Chains A and B, each alone.
Chain A
Amino acid sequence: MIAAQAAIPMTVVGGFLGAGKTTFLNRLISEAEGRYAVLVNDFGAINVDANLIAHHDGTTIALTNGCVCCSVGGGFIEALGGLLDAGGKFDHIIVEASGVGDPWRIAEIALVEPMLRLNATIVLVDAARIEMLLADPQVGATVRSQFERCDVVLLNKIDLIDRLSLERARDVVEQVCSNACVIETSQASMPNLASLHQRPARSPFYAQPCAVDSADHEITFRRWSYQRDGQFDRSRLALALAALPPELLRLKGACRLAGEANSALLQMAGRAWSLTDAGSEESSGIALVGIGTTSLPDRLELDDILDHALA
């Protein structure tokens, strides 16, 4: 069993056809910090600078900056499995969800696979089209499901619409996913993973309470940490997690479980959560870190909910 510390972070990039996924992926690849492995649906769309290509064998493009770009043509499960088999070759795995797929379904892989941990689900939304797409009888439900449960929405192509339309787009997005961090972007101003990491304001996962760069919108996050010397009871923990308020966006960390030798890695995103074997007996007790919206209830209230799960 792989120790949780060694798990490779995975980021899922989703969004409907035409939302700008490929532009964003190109940005992530060309401005990579570390060795990224990127799984894409269609090679043809990825526009990698020819000078950057070290090797191209039809299903994989190896880049001079240490990143690789793989086509999922032969099957997504096989392609992702192949990356994990390559061991610690990669610092980060980025997966492009299909234009009609639900990125959350892919993100869940990182919750159950011990070799992975979920970094973020990022969904791009075409600000000019989102209101129309959500109302479309053919694709409305598909589009809605794509960003119902994501961490970051890149509200894209804002340079193509006026201020009023932008506000409307932002409203409909926030109606669908009130808890995600919404960042306004355009083709010329796409963030890369490093900027999402370094500027915590842009991402809930590294957040201290602070403001986003977006000039006229302020998004802040609250952090909560929970530490105990004891251990959880598995079934009471399930009840406790279900009782946590929706304002809590993410919860992650190590914990001990009654009657089990190894400590476990708890990951919770939205309402979904998983416990995987952390593979080590070293860590003692419980140490969890949570991130929530500004309306996250008081820490004592949250502590009390999890205390009910102690064995």
Chain B
Amino acid sequence: MAVGSYEEICADAGAIEVDRRFADKILLPGFVEGHSHIMEGIVWTMPYVGAGDRRSPEGLLVQGIRDVEGIIERLREAADKLSDPDTPLFAWGFDPLHIGGQQLTRWHLDQVSTTRPIMVIHASFHISNVNTLILDRAGLLGPIDISGVVVDEDGRPTGELQGIAARFRVFRMLGGNPLSANLTTDDVNRYAASACIQGVTTITDLHSDLPDNTVDLYRAAAERDDFPIRLVPALASASHSPDDGIAKIERLKQENRPKLHFGIVKLVIDGSIQGFTARVRWPGYHNGASNGLWYVAPEELPRIVERYHRAGIQLHIHTNGDEATELALDAIEAAQTAMPRPDHRHTLQHCQMADAALFRRMRALGVCVNLFANHVYYWGDSHYEQTMGPERAHRLNATGTAQRIGVPYAIHSDAPVTPLGPLFTAWCAVNRVSSGGRVLGRETEALTVAQALAGVTIGAAYTLKLDHVVGSIEVGKFADFAVLEEDPFEVVPEGLKDIPVWGTVVGGHVHKAPGE
């Protein structure tokens, strides 16, 4: 890419053709989504029943549903489209916290069908609701006392299933989990289309076992000119010993090419705040819930971190609660002490509860952070009322603190947990307002529009060690642009999320977003 005025660029170029197609558009650096998952490309094989509006990979606006009756209606429409009467109907995106705590029971789902298996997967992907037929066939209709099979006050299973035993049994009975089947080219293409629709040109798949099938699909896709994204997959630490992980990363890096970048490893330390599985420090959960779960033993973490650190591999560490964040920083500090490594850029992912002191430690240790700005909108009310209480809810995802203290930061969607869309993510960080209209910590933690846009471009590129090739419009970098219909610096901050995206340019190839 060359940058400059017509005269500066073309003076010595001889006879050239000027492409003016974007004369009335705004070109920004292509957006970089530093924390999302290929699952975004898989879920759209199912109907969406979440509360917020979303865009499908075809570019269609899919309306959110805010009551149980509406969910039943949408499931009926989806069931009507299935020709085989026995095919299970799966749907995704439900979260009772987003519709005032309304529960979806098997009796609701029985109104859709009593003869077809129906499963609604929650936005968290950890919980599901099924109809009576599934419970009956799986032998879970009860009376039963298995943790994870939720029962009402009369001891009758409600159809809500959590935990591994119920999941194992139900998916075996149904013939498999559609979300964990082998990845297909269509899934990868849908993911790329969803990115293009939102102006994203570089995107992570931030937790993958990276089996051969997935690597083959990614490699083949990255070779295509019409493939509109640069993919950055992160190897899941949980499924590999550090030795195996290091060897695998070294092998995978041989596959790197302009639109495929292996090299980072993802490490998950705790769960989620709204699921009460994040590890939080005193005073714990606001509603008195017991502390969350470790996904890695605290004494094992330093050993894992040090192995990857010594091997020169960048770690992306999921820490939702502040106790988990502290533990991650302890491990990085020990690794840095054992073997100082300049510019390691280990990055804390989510890092939602960190206070200023933890940010100061990040800065001292050279740690980056990728904050979950969308959470303020989607679960801000739950955090205020139930999980963290007022004071800590205000400092949730403390982008302003990161900015002031000088920790390199990005902001993200964690799609499909929340919708992919960097302009929306930037809007969240600028406005800090919950879906219920509650303003959370705006005076101390809100970003300016310029800072927020940096968080979804060069800031995110920096956390992926790709800031030398993407994230800004500079001579020598890839010609990656988000093509917008309006100038984000001209619209009011409240309007940031509503700016239409025309499409993208990736490496000079123009991709008009699919849509209506």
Contact = CB atoms under 8 A, between A and B. Distances in A.
Given A105-B147, A271-B145, A272-B145, A112 B180 contact: no
B317 to A, nearest CB: 16
Contact of A75 (B146, B180, B243, B327): B180
Given A100-B296, A139-B298, A238 B290 contact: no
Contacts of A81: 168, 171-172
A38 B300 CA distance: 23
A112 B300 CA distance: 33
A80 B145 contact: no
A237 B211 contact: no
Interface residues of B, number: 41
B9 interface: no
A277 B290 CA distance: 36
B323 A138 contact: yes
Interface string A214-251: 00000000000000000000110110010000000000
Contacts of A139: 294, 297-298
Contact of B165 (A105, A234, A273): A105
B291 interface: yes
A78 B290 CA distance: 30
24 contacts: A17-B297, A17-B300, A18-B299, A76-B164, A77-B168, A81-B172, A100-B295, A100-B297, A105-B148, A105-B163, A108-B147, A108-B163, A112-B139, A112-B140, A112-B165, A112-B166, A112-B169, A113-B169, A114-B139, A142-B293, A238-B155, A272-B145, A274-B145, A274-B146
Interface of A: 16-18, 42-44, 73-78, 80-81, 84, 99-100, 104-106, 108-109, 111-114, 138-139, 141-142, 234-235, 237-238, 241, 271-277
Contact of B239 (A16, A73, A104, A141): A73
A59 to B, nearest CB: 10
Contact of A109 (B140, B168, B291, B323): B168
Top 6 closest pairs, chain A to chain B, by CB:
A238-B143, A108-B165, A73-B239, A17-B297, A112-B169, A109-B165
A270 to B, nearest CB: 10
A109 B294 contact: no
A15 B187 CA distance: 39
B185 interface: no
B164 A84 contact: no
Nearest to A133: B299
Given A84-B172, A271-B145, A276-B139, 15 more contacts: A17-B297, A74-B209, A74-B211, A77-B167, A77-B171, A106-B164, A108-B164, A109-B168, A113-B168, A113-B169, A138-B298, A241-B145, A272-B147, A274-B145, A274-B146
A15 to B, nearest CB: 11
Contacts of A114: 139
Q: Which of A80, A81, A112, A273 is the most central at the interface, judged by chain B CB atoms within 10 Å of its CB?
A: A112
Contacts of B293: 100, 142
Q: Which of B140, B172, B291 is the most central at the interface, judged by chain A CB atoms within 10 Å of its CB?
A: B172
B291 A141 contact: yes
A108 B145 CA distance: 10
Contact of B241 (A42, A105, A112): A42
Contacts of B244: 44
Interface of B: 138-140, 142-148, 155, 163-169, 171-172, 177, 180, 209, 211, 239-241, 243-244, 290-291, 293-300, 323, 327
Nearest to A236: B143
A303 B492 CA distance: 75
A188 B24 CA distance: 78
A308 to B, nearest CB: 15
A95 to B, nearest CB: 11
Given A17-B299, A139-B298, A142-B293, A273 B167 contact: no
Contact of A44 (B165, B169, B211, B243): B243
A141 B293 CA distance: 9
Q: Which of A106, A109, A141, A277 is the most central at the interface, judged by chain B CB atoms within 10 Å of its CB?
A: A109
A74 B238 CA distance: 10
Contacts of A276: 139
Contacts of A16: 297
Nearest to B240: A73
Nearest to A112: B169
A113 B300 contact: no
A235 B164 contact: no
A81 B173 CA distance: 11
Nearest to B281: A137
B164 A99 contact: no
Given A42-B241, A74-B211, A77-B168, A112 B291 contact: no
Nearest to B144: A274
B241 A43 contact: yes
Nearest to B299: A17
A286 B244 CA distance: 52
Contacts of A234: 143
Contacts of B163: 105, 108
